[in-house]
Amino acid sequence: MKRAADHAQALAAIRPSVIYTDLDGTLLGPGGALLAGPGRSVTAAAAQALAALHGADVAVVPVSGRTENQVREVGRVIGASGFIAEMGGIVDTGSEIIRRYGAHRGPGTPYQAMARTGAAGFVLDAFAGRLEPHAPWAFRGRECTMLFRGMVDAEEVTGALSEAGYEWLALQDNGRISHPGPTPVVHAYHLAPLGVTKHEAVAEDIQRRGLRPEDAVAIGDGPSDAAMAAHTAAALIVSNGVEAVEAAGGETGVLYRTDAGRGEGFAEAVTLLRVGP
């Protein structure tokens, strides 16, 4: 993955109309706090970057695995222009709410179908000791995806699901979970219908806004965020997410890494884009 600072000229040449940003581990620091920096420090870097974006009339759209209500509230606080929730299953364009259920067919929501058909139980049994519900958030108002934590190969799990008859589902890696102290590496994963992804939702949102891919930039910390590079002028991965993204592969020419992590990495990305009044 290319170091963003080494390609400052190319990034500065982009004139984004919209920034799609992941929340946890990207815009937000430990504990999901906007002002939380490394080692329990306080940093205003991300907040200042948001102010610069608003001052330049660049739309900010959070793209998250969080639920609709959770992302809507964060969006209200940061002055977002719409949002994308549950890994792309719910899109708020600013004028309407679109539900994207992907390959899900039948009654109810995808979440209800996963519970009803035993897909969730299959995953937990087949990968016992490696995956568990990401409590308590796994049980709070989810509609399109099921939320887990652990350490697995998402493609391996998706293959196992297909062999077991759940070919309409895939497991997505949404990046590393922040934990204080010397804890094992743990990632957040979403079980979702095929077609429910951040990058496909971003592509649809760009089109509905009447924009082009070259008008958009993505910032994130996980493989699901890196996939947004396929539909944007550039995708910048903050430093705490680089290892997971590189392990997942899928390198593209418009994928860059920042030197800083989390909110400070978000601010670095905005600075390199030279967005501001």
Q: Which pLDDT tens digit goes with each residue over 174-199?
A: 988 865 444 578 999 999 999 999 99
Which residue positions in the chain have pLDDT lower than 50? 180-182
The closest alpha carbon to 57, from 19, 11, 13, belongs to 19
Q: Which amino acid is at 257?
A: R
Secondary structure of residue 160 in the 3-state scheme = helix
Upstream peptide bond of 38 is cis (omega within 30 degrees of 0): no
User: What is residue 39's predicted lDDT score, i.e. its pLDDT?
Assistant: 83
User: What is residue 182's predicted lDDT score, i.e. its pLDDT?
Assistant: 46
Record the pTM: 0.94
Secondary structure of residue 23 in the 3-state scheme = coil
* 8 Å CB contact between 264 and 46: yes
Task: Enumerate domains of the chain plus CATH numbers.
Answer: 2-100+198-272 (3.40.50.1000), 110-193 (3.90.1070)
Which residues touch 216 (CB under 8 Å, ≥6 apart)? 16, 17, 18, 19, 20, 202, 206, 231, 232, 233
Which residues touch 251 (CB under 8 Å, ≥6 apart)? 1
User: What is residue 277's predicted lDDT score, i.e. its pLDDT?
Assistant: 55
Task: Measure Cα distances from 137 to 45, 63, 197, 241 in Å.
Answer: 27, 17, 19, 21
User: What is residue 248's predicted lDDT score, i.e. its pLDDT?
Assistant: 81
User: What is residue 40's predicted lDDT score, i.e. its pLDDT?
Assistant: 83
Q: In whole angstroms, what is the distance from residue 136 CA to residue 49 CA?
A: 31
Residue 192, sorted as left (phi over 0), alpha (psi -120 to 50) or beta, turns out to be beta
Which residues touch 89 (CB under 8 Å, ≥6 apart)? 99, 100, 101, 102, 110, 143, 144, 145, 192, 193, 196, 201
Q: In whole angstroms, what is the distance from residue 137 CA to residue 67 CA?
A: 9
Q: In whole angstroms, what is the distance from residue 257 CA to residue 245 CA?
A: 10
Where are the strands (E) in 183-233, listed by range?
Answer: 187-193, 216-220
